Chain A
Amino acid sequence: MTDGAVVARTPFTDAWTSFCRNRAALFGLLLIVTIIFMTLFGPLIYRVDPLDIVSAPLLPPGEDGLPLGTDYLGRDLLAGIINGGRASLAVGLSAALLTMTLGVTVGALAGFYGGWVDRALMRITEFFQVLPPLILAMTIVLLFRPSLASVAVSIGLVSWPTPARLTRAEFMRIRELDYVKAARAMGARNARLIWRLILPNAAPPLVVAATLTVGAAILFEGGLSFLGLGDSNAVSWGLMMGMNRPYLLDAWWATTLPGVVLFLTVLAVSLVGDGLNDALNPRLRER
């Protein structure tokens, strides 16, 4: 045996090795790190207020010393893109967190307990599933004052049914496996079965779903802002696209550039999600 010389192999290191073999996923990870770095430290390096009018409106990229030009009010586009990432990512991440928390909780309870708990929770889930998400989210945002928080909450409230169904299915499957029965036979109570046995074993598809939810939430935030339902005091990529849309024929860059950044972000998140799926799903993992 070669044990001792080798670093301890755990399911996590196995997954990491497998993840690193996937070039697209590594590229996505690199892209995400870059974008996060840009949004966190960009404003400290490129010190222009994204709401200040710095020059004539709709200047093309490169003119007047502005790398990406200006928008319809003459505000610096590069500053907008750098600062807009904060709102997009913050809303995307917190909405995804809310989505997963709600979804996993509901799905876990329904899948573990079954019976009337399952039936009741699934009817509620179906209620949320049949409503058109964008309309529902718009209604929720309008019920409150549009702000980053209300946008995040509204996205969370319309997206949780998907992870809930996934979690429920995983719980129902794993609940019947031998090691859960064996743990029960050793006196494990429900809380321990849920937290120590079933949830960790259900984690791989949930991690993937969480990643993809982040991408979807960023996109959703972009959509809401584009429609003017975002927080108009916080610059975000979707807001920039929406505001500059009427001038698309005169100044394509003002709409397109924030769109490209948004696209790259969602693409990167999806690539990572895909890579995680391959790495964590033992059936897809090559031996």
Chain B
Amino acid sequence: MSPPVLAVTDLNVEFASRSGPVRVLRDLSFNVAPGETLALVGESGCGKSMTALAIIGLPPPRVRIVSGSITLDGQELVGANARTLSDVRGDRISMIFQDPMTALNPVFPVGEQIAEVLRAHRGLTRCQAMDRALDALKAVEIPDAEHRLRQYPHELSGGMRQRVMIAMAVACEPRLLIADEPTTALDVTVQAQVFDLLRDLRRRTGMSLILITHDMGAVAELADSAVVMYAGRAVESAPVDELLHSPRHPYTRGLIGCIPDIDTDATVALTEIPGMVPALSDIGPGCAFADRCTLARDECRTRLPPTIERDRGHAVACWNV
């Protein structure tokens, strides 16, 4: 097996709150193989986006990596200096964000913004960079790219802007693209187009993709494997087929139970997971999901379940499995 593009090992991240440090990511480990699409799945606040920001070395204020390692093609990124990280960002790792409406600089034409990334990382001249920006826009299947190049973000639709963001992110042909809920702000038909585009780009360029989402449908459609996160911890990780067909963790089962199935009887009620995600500062010594779990036993509340690999890369952290 080829070495992973990205390896995250025992990552621990803390937020310095007023009432003391809060662990936002706990012993997180996963690998992304070349060309693989890995989905990070979970509800809001489970640490998906925090993981992405930790990888690109831009944790929010008062958040810091306490321990663990993040390596990109073997190069350690935790503790790397700011210059190294800004060289890596946009060149070997890129990230696209949830809301394309606000993620582009409103005062410059989009072509110029793509060209700037190329000039920063590739040292191209203005003209060369604009040529490459045009190629990048064509690569994300924007019709009439020559014209779009000179347009301002406010003249483009949401779907177009997300395509521009993707063009900017992949302009330098990164090894890894992190897509943080790339379609949440878009309507459904555009979502499908963006997924098609991401799949196509991955196939053409061989880049790896981390897809951050709460949508199991998106996971099924795009990902090769998935890590289910809950309260800053990976509770289950497995190849996608395996995860969808035989989920083991009660939380994963709950998430899958929330997807409506067009083939089943419409009168069958969707299941929901009772309760809410606990505040990270309130988590006891046991499993964070215990309070919402129908299978919870005394042991679940007092002892943290270890992550145990069952079979074929399927790892679960639950006492009941």
Give the interface of A toward B (CB within 8 A).
3, 8-11, 177-179, 181-189, 192, 196-197, 200-201, 203
Neighbour of B105 across the interface among A8, A185, A196, A203, CB < 8 A: A196
When distances are taken between beta carbons in the complex, the residues of chain A under 8 Å from B97 are 178, 181-182, 185
B42 CB within 8 Å of chain A: no
Judge whether A179 and B102 touch: CB under 8 Å: yes
A225 to B90, CA, bound (A): 56
B104 CB within 8 Å of chain A: yes
Give the interface of B toward A (CB within 8 A).
56, 58, 83, 86-91, 94-97, 99, 102-108, 116-117, 120-121, 147, 150, 152, 155, 165, 168-169
Neighbour of B86 across the interface among A3, A10, A11, A187, CB < 8 A: A187
Q: Report the minimal beta-carbon distance from A151 to chain B, rounded to whole angstroms.
A: 36
Judge whether A182 and B86 touch: CB under 8 Å: no
When distances are taken between beta carbons in the complex, the residues of chain A under 8 Å from B99 are 178
Query: What residue in chain A is nearest B107 (Cβ atoms)?
Result: A200
A178 to B108, CA, bound (A): 15
Judge whether A187 and B91 touch: CB under 8 Å: yes
When distances are taken between beta carbons in the complex, the residues of chain B under 8 Å from A182 are 95-97, 103-104, 165
A186 to B121, CA, bound (A): 9
Judge whether A189 and B86 touch: CB under 8 Å: yes
Of listed A10, A177, A183, A201, residue having the most chain B CB within 10 A: A183
Judge whether B116 and A196 touch: CB under 8 Å: yes
Judge whether B120 and A177 touch: CB under 8 Å: no
Of listed A177, A178, A200, residue having the most chain B CB within 10 A: A178
When distances are taken between beta carbons in the complex, the residues of chain B under 8 Å from A197 are 105
- The 3 A-B pairs of least Cβ separation, nearest first, read A187-B90, A186-B90, A187-B89
Judge whether A187 and B106 touch: CB under 8 Å: no
Judge whether B87 and A187 touch: CB under 8 Å: yes
Q: Report the minimal beta-carbon distance from B34 to chain A, rounded to whole angstroms.
A: 21
Q: Report the minimal beta-carbon distance from A5 to chain B, rounded to whole angstroms.
A: 13
Judge whether A9 and B155 touch: CB under 8 Å: yes
When distances are taken between beta carbons in the complex, the residues of chain A under 8 Å from B95 are 182, 185-186
When distances are taken between beta carbons in the complex, the residues of chain B under 8 Å from A187 are 86-91, 117, 120-121
A188 to B97, CA, bound (A): 16
When distances are taken between beta carbons in the complex, the residues of chain B under 8 Å from A186 are 89-90, 94-95, 117, 120, 168-169
When distances are taken between beta carbons in the complex, the residues of chain B under 8 Å from A188 are 86, 90, 116-117, 120
A200 to B106, CA, bound (A): 9
A95 to B102, CA, bound (A): 37
When distances are taken between beta carbons in the complex, the residues of chain A under 8 Å from B105 are 179, 183, 196-197, 200-201
Query: What residue in chain A is nearest B104 (Cβ atoms)?
Result: A179
Q: Report the minimal beta-carbon distance from B62 to chain A, rounded to whole angstroms.
A: 12
| Besides the known contacts A182-B95, A182-B96, 20 further A-B residue pairs in the complex with CB atoms under 8 A apart | A3-B147, A11-B107, A177-B102, A179-B103, A179-B105, A182-B97, A182-B103, A185-B58, A185-B89, A186-B117, A186-B169, A188-B120, A192-B116, A192-B120, A196-B108, A196-B116, A200-B105, A200-B107, A200-B108, A201-B105
Neighbour of B103 across the interface among A178, A192, A196, A200, CB < 8 A: A178
A112 to B310, CA, bound (A): 49
Q: Report the minimal beta-carbon distance from A34 to chain B, rounded to whole angstroms.
A: 32
Judge whether A178 and B102 touch: CB under 8 Å: yes
A271 to B146, CA, bound (A): 41
A184 to B152, CA, bound (A): 20
When distances are taken between beta carbons in the complex, the residues of chain B under 8 Å from A179 are 102-106
